Amino acid sequence: MGAEPGETTLAIRRICSPVRRGNDRETPLLDHGRVPPSSMEEQANSWSTAAELVMLCCPRLTQSMSVSHDPSLDEQVARVRSYMDGCGLMVVPESARDVRRELVALLRSCTSTVVDEWIATVGVAFAIPDRQWPEVRAWMLTALQRWFRHIENPQDVETYVFLRNHARRGFISHFPASRFLSGQMRLVRLFEQRIQEHCAQEPVKAAVLLQLLRQEFEERILHITDFFVAGREADLREQEASYRQAVDNAPAAIFRVDCDFSSILGASEVATKLTQLGREQIVGMRLWDLVPSGERARVRRLLEDARRRGHARSDDLHLLRRDGERIPVFVNVGLIEYAGQRFFQVICVDISERKRLESQLIQSEKMAAIGQLAAGIAHEIRNPLGIIANALFDLRELLPPGQPDIEEDLRIALEEMRRVQEIIDNLLEFSRTSRVEAELVDVNALLQKTLQLMQKSLQTRGVRVHTEFGDVGLCVANQNALRQVFLNLITNAVQAMPNGGELRIRTLPLGNERVRMDFADTGVGIPPEHLSDIFNPFFTTKDPGQGTGLGLSVVHSVVKRLKGEIRVQSQVNRGTTFTIELPRGEESEDFVGLLGMPGRLTP
């Protein structure tokens, strides 16, 4: 059911021009200020009745007056109005539409001159550059139109939507709330002056309009205050979330530690991964519970130094993982004082890679030193050994038959001379510092030839070989040197399986740049305390006379000269795996043109 056109028109007229009926005559409510003091309540009732009539007759009209917004803003608007109503500040009701329209009409008529006077005042007070005054003036004119629409229709809260956004993200959020509010107060004072001037002959009308203006401004002040507070709270939450994200994404384990009890208050995501413990497990632990027992006293001293000096650091500590593995870390401790709290921020940087590089550097220095020694040994004893070997050979030829003891001694002497010669050859290979001629080598084919060469030895020792050759193409290496690497690794694997076993050899490509080779045996393995020494010259765990300790040193030296990497993993009584990575290469015109001959390269 809908209202007839006549009823709608009558309802709108009654809202726009409300009247008070009495003694059978009609009197405009705001006509020349003749509003009896007792008529305010009757006036509100009349407006309320008219408003209800419009809602019944013109539902679409009232719907168009509502603005879509965040439900949280609805809650704030209702809360503020409840506070004002409870404190007796809502003198002019929302239903007094005629008073609201008349106030808005008066405000709009003087807005331009008021804003001009306002910008001249606040522009100087707030040190706004003159060139920005026109822009600020335009902003204020637009903002006032939104506020006027709210005064006219309190259900239109678009002005608060904009204010909330500006208080959180806009330009006014960059300044103190008092700066913005003082500007708003000055603006309202100017409007009050215009109302008093316009209604100088109508004091009652002026009082009603001023009351409504002040009431709306007080509501606006309350909303602005809430917006600024909510904005600052949101900023703090975002800062906290940003800090948490920064801490979690930092490439280091970060702990927040209580200054008085040394208990952990918080831990970053990296800290949980490094220690293999959840946050709920870490929080409440003492910091020294995360380090080996032998280092706990040093951690206590570190915290004490930080408490006394404000900061402290150490690069010789370890974090313990859940599985017992020790992770070398660089620890930096800072004393933080914030918002009445004092705590330590402990940053632990995993330096495993740095330790590995340092170990490689030490290994390289050892290699260089032993290389110089090897070169000297080779030149000094090669010729005397050759003379001795020839003499032993001659003695064996001249020895009359029938002297088996002497023949056995000569055989042993010649065998030992050959072993000495092998040692010297290994030393020479190890110490070679000349430029290595690199070429394109078919890794899979070279491995197959090496296995064929050692086939008899493998069968005799009961070693089963399983191969898994991937499509690795060609590798940039020196064929003779790489063959020596394969021979040494396979020989070591065979010797590690005295009762037989299984040797798995696998090749696979690593992208387009590298080739990977794995040599995995099921032998006796290498104790953890020896893993860092196996590439050292002359280091061996074999029985005396069973090895020289140079095989793996030569392997390491060759791989490094070929710009490769070698790694080892081992478990006692379960086996050892050596992994080698070398650069890949391919036959191409560019490669041939660079070398001057097909498939050869001098690095």
Q: Binning pLDDT at 50, 70 and 90, where does residue 72 land?
A: confident
Mean pLDDT, to the nearest integer, of 149-166? 89
In this predicted structure, which of 46-55, 153-162, 241-250, 581-590 has the lowest mean pLDDT?
46-55
The predicted pLDDT at position 22 comes to 41
What's the whole-number average pLDDT of the chain?
79
As given in the structure block, the two tokens for residue 442 are 């078919």
Q: Binning pLDDT at 50, 70 and 90, where does residue 123 land?
A: very high
Q: Is the pLDDT of residue 336 over 90?
A: no
Mean pLDDT, to the nearest integer, of 559-568? 89
Instruction: Tell me the three state secondary structure of residue 464.
Output: strand
Q: Is the pLDDT of residue 236 over 60?
A: yes
Q: Is the pLDDT of residue 526 over 70?
A: yes
User: What's the CA gap between 193 and 46, in Å, rounded?
Assistant: 30
Mean pLDDT, to the nearest integer, of 151-157? 92
The predicted pLDDT at position 39 comes to 40
The predicted pLDDT at position 539 comes to 67
Q: Is the pLDDT of residue 330 over 80?
A: yes
Cα 167-169-174 angle, rounded to 5 deg: 70
The predicted pLDDT at position 379 comes to 66
pTM above 0.85, yes or no: no
Mean pLDDT, to the nearest integer, of 404-413? 85
Better-scored residue on pLDDT, 383 or 270: 270
Task: Please report, for residues 7, 280, 425, the alpha-carbon distance to residue 421 in angstroms, rounded to integers and kept in the order given.
Answer: 122, 64, 6
Q: Is the dihedral of CA 19, 24, 25, 30 positive or negative?
A: negative
The predicted pLDDT at position 316 comes to 85
CB 253 within 8 A of CB 268: yes
* Model confidence pLDDT, tens digit, residues 445-490: 999 988 887 888 888 889 999 999 999 988 888 887 888 899 889 9
Q: Binning pLDDT at 50, 70 and 90, where does residue 215 land?
A: very high
CB 552 within 8 A of CB 492: yes
Give the 3-state DSSP-derived string for 425-458, with helices as H, strands as E and coil as C. HHHHHHHCCCCCCEEEEEHHHHHHHHHHHCHHHH
* Model confidence pLDDT, tens digit, residues 7-41: 333 333 333 344 443 444 333 334 433 334 334 34
Better-scored residue on pLDDT, 164 or 438: 164
In this predicted structure, which of 21-35, 187-201, 423-437 has the lowest mean pLDDT?
21-35
CB 212 within 8 A of CB 30: no
Cα 57-61-66 angle, rounded to 5 deg: 130
Q: Is the pLDDT of residue 42 over 50?
A: no
Q: Is 291 exposed, middle or buried (0-12, 13-18, 19+ CB in 10 A)?
A: buried
Q: Binning pLDDT at 50, 70 and 90, where does residue 244 land?
A: confident
Better-scored residue on pLDDT, 260 or 101: 101
Convert 164-188 to b/e letters by CB count within 10 Å (16 or more is b).
bebbbeeebbeeebeebeebbeebb
Q: Binning pLDDT at 50, 70 and 90, where does residue 373 land?
A: confident
In this predicted structure, which of 9-23, 302-316, 521-535 has the lowest mean pLDDT?
9-23
Who's near 583: CB < 8 A, 6+ residues apart?
475, 476, 513, 514, 515, 562, 563, 564
Place of tokens 């002359």: 538
Identify which of 63-67, 118-122, 304-308, 359-363 has the greatest average pLDDT: 118-122
Mean pLDDT, to the nearest integer, of 412-416? 83
User: What's the CA gap between 61 and 3, in Å, rounded?
Assistant: 12
Q: Binning pLDDT at 50, 70 and 90, where does residue 426 land?
A: low
The predicted pLDDT at position 566 comes to 93
Q: Is the pLDDT of residue 384 over 60?
A: yes
Q: Is the pLDDT of residue 56 over 80?
A: no
In this predicted structure, which of 95-109, 128-142, 359-373, 588-602 has the lowest mean pLDDT?
588-602
The predicted pLDDT at position 201 comes to 92
The predicted pLDDT at position 432 comes to 56
Q: Binning pLDDT at 50, 70 and 90, where does residue 251 land?
A: confident
User: What's the CA gap between 81 and 89, in Å, rounded?
Assistant: 9
